[in-house]
Amino acid sequence: ILETFIPGLFIRLMKLKVEEGEHEISIKDKNFFRYILFFILYRPSLKLIGFLPLLPLRVRFLKLVGLKMGKSSILAGSEIIHDPYAVEIGEQTLIGGYSWILAHIAEEKLIVKKVKIGNNCLIGGGAVIMPGVVIEDNVTVGINSVIPKNRILKAGKIYVGNPVREISRNEGSTV
């Protein structure tokens, strides 16, 4: 178990994260190089922790490498958070199993943009959240929904589909 945290400590101590913005897909680009190095250190450790049924260890590792998450929020344990240093999850939010949260996308360039998920949100299993997405408070995202890059999901609503579309307001919402 200790071996899994050593790369995480290295990532933390070296402040290994990629700046928001567009970066050349070239080893000569400082941010692209940092992204590759982060990925090489992060993914094997995350996979190893995934084999262990110890969710608190997984959450600690994700926070060690930069995830900002409310104390009362819950991860299913099988989600993939590709760029934890660029992801914020509010309080009392549940991220369903096999969901993907990505703060990067490679098009003609490597694009890195923060993902923010508000308080009291429910992200259904298998959902895919792309870079630049902002999910406001009290939002429900349906199972297997895809939220394209740079979308803003308004507070107190329910979204489903690929790409997501609003279907109604959350009844319990105070917004």
Q: What is the pLDDT of residues 46-74, one digit of tens each?
A: 888 877 777 888 899 999 999 999 999 99
Return the pLDDT at 57: 87
Q: What is the pLDDT of residues 115-173, one digit of tens each?
A: 999 999 999 999 999 999 999 999 999 999 999 999 999 999 999 999 999 998 766 55
For residue 104, the tally of other CB atoms under 10 A from its CB is 19
Residue 93 dihedral angles phi and psi, to the nearest 5°? -115, 140
pTM here?
0.91
Return the pLDDT at 172: 58
133 within 8 A of 103, measured Cβ to Cβ? no
Return the DSSP state at 161.
Answer: T
